[in-house]
Structure 1
Amino acid sequence: MSPTDLLLLRFLLACVGCVAAGLGVWSVMLLCRRCLPGVCSQRTPWLLAQCTIVAAFLLILLPHSERLRLLPPIEMDGGVSTHAVAPGQTAAPAAVATATDAPAKATAARPWLAVGAQAWLIVYLLGLGHSSLKLMLARRVLRGLAAAGGRLSAQDRHPGFADAPAPDAEVIEVDAPISPMLFGLLHPRLLLPAHLRGFDIAQQQMIVAHELTHLRRHDLHWAGAGVLLQTLFWFNPIMRLLRARLSWAQELGCDREVLSGRPAAQRKAYAAALVAQLRLRPCPDLGALAFGGASASTLAGRISLIREPGATARGPWTRLAAIGALAGVLGASLALQPALAWRADQIPATQPATQPTAQVDHAAAHAAPSAQAMASCTTMSDAASGKRLVHDGQCDDRVTPASTFNLAVSLMGYDSGILQDEHAPLLPFQAGYIDWNPEWRAATDPSSWLKYSVVWYAQQVTAKLGAARFQDYIQRFGYGNRDVSGDPGKDNGLSMSWISSSLKISPAEQVTFLRGVVNRQLGLSPRAYDMTIRIMPTETLANGWRVHGKTGTAAPVLADGHDDPQHQYGWYVGWASKGQRTIVFARMVLDRRQEGFAGGRVKEAFLLDLTARLDSL
């Protein structure tokens, strides 16, 4: 699964989450209408309700929001599989360490949920296009009405402006059966129907005052924000309901200001004008503020408030109660959304789908490796808490650590003083040293040793340590099976025990060892940790995580003591850090031998999806 697939899945989950949040918000607002009618007759709570839904959507999209979720995660297969060498292909010579990493060919599994997320994106874009088209057509209708009317100048002012100051909007009189309305965010225009002149002068003045109050209160901007949110979240029916209630609250606010202090007769005339305008052609549903914009369902309540205005609750505690309830909905909607748990594929492409994931008997495997099933593991843990984040595959099976053991040798070398800094000691290459790779046939310092996994350099360090100190460090580290005796009868524990020999470690034990390194709990000098980290190969991911890692490659050993020419173990171990958080990881694959080194292929494949993995943990 690619990072794009994961992003689409997060988008799908965010859409579902904002719908769920919308249901909670609507329930809260209905309760407020019953218990706090004065608060709900204002415009602010309804726009805050819309913003709460938007916030729920955005929070679910944010990286690491899964830590706030309480529900079990949705597990998804998304591991990377490797390709097998075709039968009859000449195998590469046995190699024990990683050098320059060869690019790995990888295929990403795409579960049905990812396909559904892609389909939802298409549906969303189609719906967004449809909603935007409706918005454009409605705007065209308003512009057409304005173009068909005549602009009123200061010399021929409308009777409705008798007691009103000059408006900060263009006034256009239209010979059309519409309600008086205000529209246009950047260039406000007030449309007045020609039939309005037949109304009573007081009615005309109150209607015009109503629209100018909208202008003064910046209601066009509020309405525009509501329309924009409704368009972007067209799939959420609650957004339409909330915007309708926002419009209703805006109309009530203007009614209150226009009718403040007026006698009952004028209130009744105002209500009669509102009923008369309701029978006319409705304004387009795009945020235009019309005097007769009330719907039949809200007209009765609006007229009731016009005739007998009740006390409007404006105390801070009532507002805080409404805001607190919305914040509670936001928190609950985030906590109760399931997270997406990235689950690495446990079955490589060369392994039959029916292969069980039980532990591999490596003694039997070495006796008959051609018949054994492939093995793999990905395990990741939080460095600080030790919480296991990913644990997929044969993560408890011990195999040779290969060149990943160089991290342990580096710690020993710097703690004992054998290694001095990044470039000292510089040791010359000598005839008789292991020289499988061209990079090994040159003078080597600690930095190039760890970069190219120079076997003979590590052997020089362990030789200077001596068997007793070497064994003591291994015991202190709790490293794997702690067996550094080497091959039976060869007395090569100091030089070969970690290379397809006696020393073995599981991926889970690698993570435990790495946590000891990151948390500096191995009883070593601070310099040992500092210098080892300084010479480790590093990568910086696109999302800002910095990865310190070490590869390793080694062959299984056949019953006759020779290296298996058809298979290789590939390792990539280390940690990723960002801010205050560090995650340790180990990836191990028993792969068919291919061109290059198994460790390099494992690293390449692991880094391909590590960005998405870290964002989901």
Structure 2
Amino acid sequence: MSALDLFLVRFMLASAASMAAGFVVWMLCLLLRRLLPALAAQRTGWLLAQVTVVAAFVVALIPPPQHARLLPPVDLEAVDAAMARYIEPAGQLALKTAPAITSAGDTEAGASWMTVAALAWFAVYALGLAWHALRWRRAQRLVDALAAAGRHVADCGSAVPVIEVDAPVSPMLLGPHRPRLLIPRHLRAFDPLQQHLIVEHELTHWRRHDLHWMLAGVVLQTLLWFNPFMRWLRASLLWAQELGCDRDVLRGRPAAERKAYAAALLAQLKLQCVPGGMALAFGGVHAETVKARIAQIRTPSASGRAARFAAAGMLAMAALASYALQPALAWHSGAALHCLALSDAATGQALLRQGQCNTRVTPASTFNIAVSLMGYDSGILKDEQTPRLPYHDSYAAWNPDWRTSTDPTEWIHKSVVWYAQQVTAQIGAAGFQRYVDGFGYGNRDVSGDPGQHNGLTMSWIGSSLQISPEEQVAFLRRIVNRELGLAPHAYDMTSRLLRVRTLANGWTVYGKTGTGSPPGPDGKDDRSRAYGWFVGWAVKGNRTIVFAHFNQDREEHEEAAGPRAREALLRELPARLDAL
């Protein structure tokens, strides 16, 4: 899968994750309403519920680090292969996985069933998002046109401009940009006390900043338009805002005034037409909520502070559970990767592409190619045997073969980490960053582990610096063509150190291995998912081919992944090169 394919599949699975989270959150909210009836009038809980569902979508789309997850990742390649076996029999729709691009000019004959489904869903999502955005805009234009057709009321004593309209609507507050209060002409027929209470209700929306809460709810619902639970949660948010304003307006008022307000609600229900449901406007008495509003008018509820805290606590727990569990629905770098890329060094023509060649991972010891160039260019390294540096017990040496004095040839052959660290330490942070930037190496991030200040010595070892096979090929081309602006001695000596062997068909291979591992659930290296690199170039006559071979294990092996990647490529490289 390409990087785009992987994103589309993540998006599809994140959509499913948001549906599951929406169901859980909705059930949780219904339970809380039963246990704490005051929750119905608390807008905080309903907005937090929407945010929780959106957070589940985001977490599944952009999974947290592997050490933060509780469930293993979904290996999409394995799922795709398994599904292909079940959907191929006669009488069923056979969607076979298409062959990857294997040479320049070739195109994919098809795509996996999961990629096709993901692409189709993304297209549907984009169309739905556009339709809901247009619907929102249309509803807003309708209420704006209604306000433009009205008459401004002067000296009404309101902090918000008041506009009288000759239309069968309820008093409504428009906004949040340039808030305005629309008053229908038929309101003149109401009792003065009823008029006052109704207008005060709308102004309470303005003082409580309810329009901004409404805007947040509309945006969240629009982004996840396909999720019915988001629509129900937003409707509950609007209901809670109406109940909250009723409570604030009627607080401390006598029974006669409360009765007059209830009668006004019923009168509005008979006279009004309700504006578009997506418009940013408060107003309208809905038949399905008027019963609850009148019940609260008769029996005032408490402020519901306990309900707010309970709702926030329960939703926080749901969000944390989503954070830990949703990554199991999303593809990420834990799924096994593979790439084989070959390019003509002179022209840059892509001769072979197989696998996910645009995915960045740690360069591991393949970065020693870059360190060698830096070392010889800066004069720290002299030749193949100089300098020979002594080993100290304080050096990083998890491989027993590294615990001895080492020269440049042994460093490259054994991938001695501490030797490279001594070279980069002498170069210094500023020079190190300057070289990496000049090389255009991967993401160029040599900051190292967060808070550890170890970029100069560890950034390329499972840390901040990452590079894709495609970027490795581009970097190697610049070496072969001597385009990095370095001293000729740097290119010459690095080539000598990287020479591997001459193949039977006359191609001489230069290259460097690299082995690394992603973090597992416990934060330690997951050696069952080890990365194996072998990158370099092959020369025969006047032609040079640069290559990058990358493979990620699916199970743990005794031999390091880098050497295994090298030997696997060397076995098939003669035939590959002869075919080019």
TM-score normalised over the length of structure 2? 0.63
Q: Distance in 2 between matches of 1:376 and 1:200?
A: 75
Which AA in structure 2 matches 1:285? G
The alpha carbon displacement at 1:589 in A equals 8.3
Q: Distance in 1 between matches of 2:386 and 2:377?
A: 14
- Cα distance change on mapping 1:147 and 1:287 into 2, 3 Å: closer
Aligned counterpart, 1:13: 13
Alignment match of 2:158 (pick from 143, 167, 171): 167
Higher relative contact order (Cα pairs below 8 Å, separated by 6+ residues) = 1
User: Equivalent residues in 2 for 1:192-211 (5 A)?
Assistant: 192-211=183-202
Aligned counterpart, 1:323: 312
The alpha carbon displacement at 1:310 in A equals 2.9
- Cα distance change on mapping 1:303 and 1:565 into 2, 3 Å: same
- Equivalent position SS for 2:71: coil
Alignment match of 1:333 (pick from 319, 322, 337): 322
Aligned counterpart, 1:57: 57
Q: Deviations over 1:173-209 (max 9, x none)?
A: 1221111111121211211111111112211111111
Aligned counterpart, 1:489: none
User: In the alignment, is residue 573 of structure 1 matched against residue 514 of structure 2?
Assistant: yes
Aligned counterpart, 1:117: 118
Aligned counterpart, 2:547: 601
- Please tell me the root mean square deviation across aligned C-alpha atoms, in Å: 5.0
The alpha carbon displacement at 1:330 in A equals 1.1
Aligned counterpart, 2:505: 564
The alpha carbon displacement at 1:171 in A equals 1.3
User: In the alignment, is residue 129 of structure 1 matched against residue 130 of structure 2?
Assistant: yes
Aligned counterpart, 2:143: 142
Q: Deviations over 1:213-266 (max 9, x none)?
A: 111111111112211221222112111111111111111111112112222222
* Alpha-carbon contact 2:340-2:547 (below 8 Å) kept: no
Q: Which moved more, 1:38-47 or 1:250-259?
A: 38-47
User: Equivalent residues in 2 for 1:83-122 (5 A)?
Assistant: 111-122=112-123
- Cα distance change on mapping 1:205 and 1:242 into 2, 3 Å: same
User: Equivalent residues in 2 for 1:68-467 (5 A)?
Assistant: 68-77=68-77, 111-154=112-155, 157=156, 166-279=157-270, 280-294=272-286, 296-315=287-306, 318-337=307-326, 338=328, 339-342=330-333, 343=335, 423-424=378-379, 446=382, 457-458=383-384
- Cα distance change on mapping 1:186 and 1:543 into 2, 3 Å: farther
* Alpha-carbon contact 1:210-1:254 (below 8 Å) kept: yes
Q: Which has the larger radius of gyration?
A: 1
Aligned counterpart, 1:546: 465
Q: Deviations over 1:13-39 (max 9, x none)?
A: 333322222222212211111112223
- Equivalent position SS for 2:547: helix
Which AA in structure 1 matches 2:317? G
Unpaired segments ≥5 residues, structure 1: 85-103, 158-165, 351-374, 384-388, 391-402, 411-419, 426-444, 447-456, 466-472, 480-493, 504-512, 558-562, 607-617
The alpha carbon displacement at 1:106 in A equals 9.9
The percent identity for this pair of structures is 41
Which AA in structure 1 matches 2:265? L
- Cα distance change on mapping 1:498 and 1:82 into 2, 3 Å: farther
- Cα distance change on mapping 1:220 and 1:83 into 2, 3 Å: closer
* Alpha-carbon contact 2:8-2:122 (below 8 Å) kept: yes
Q: Distance in 1 between matches of 2:67 and 2:99?
A: 25
- Cα distance change on mapping 1:543 and 1:335 into 2, 3 Å: farther
Q: Deviations over 1:324-373 (max 9, x none)?
A: 211111122232222314555669699xxxxxxxxxxxxxxxxxxxxxxx
How many residues matched? 444
Q: Distance in 1 between matches of 2:338 and 2:377?
A: 38
* Alpha-carbon contact 1:283-1:293 (below 8 Å) kept: no
Q: Distance in 2 between matches of 1:596 and 1:80?
A: 28
The alpha carbon displacement at 1:477 in A equals 1.5
- Cα distance change on mapping 1:236 and 1:13 into 2, 3 Å: same
* Alpha-carbon contact 1:539-1:546 (below 8 Å) kept: no
TM-score normalised over the length of structure 1? 0.59
The alpha carbon displacement at 1:588 in A equals 3.7
Aligned counterpart, 2:46: 46
Q: Distance in 2 between matches of 1:123 and 1:303?
A: 42
Q: Deviations over 1:511-549 (max 9, x none)?
A: xx65xx44x5xxx89747856999998754348442599
Q: Distance in 2 between matches of 1:26 and 1:541?
A: 44
Which AA in structure 2 matches 1:7? F
User: In the alignment, is residue 477 of structure 1 matched against residue 477 of structure 2?
Assistant: no
- Cα distance change on mapping 1:541 and 1:335 into 2, 3 Å: same
Q: Deviations over 1:414-452 (max 9, x none)?
A: xxxxxx986558xxxxxxxxxxxxxxxxxxx54xxxxxx
Which AA in structure 1 matches 2:229? I
Alignment match of 1:587 (pick from 529, 533, 554): 533
Structure richer in helix, relative to its length: 2
Q: Distance in 2 between matches of 1:243 and 1:270?
A: 26
* Alpha-carbon contact 1:553-1:597 (below 8 Å) kept: no
* Alpha-carbon contact 2:100-2:355 (below 8 Å) kept: no
Which AA in structure 2 matches 1:586? G
Q: Deviations over 1:282-310 (max 9, x none)?
A: 1221254445333x332222211111113
- Cα distance change on mapping 1:222 and 1:195 into 2, 3 Å: same
Q: Deviations over 1:547-586 (max 9, x none)?
A: 59998564575xxxxx3347968654266999x9999843
The alpha carbon displacement at 1:80 in A equals 12
Which AA in structure 1 matches 2:45? P
The alpha carbon displacement at 1:46 in A equals 1.2
* Alpha-carbon contact 1:181-1:288 (below 8 Å) kept: no
The alpha carbon displacement at 1:172 in A equals 1.5
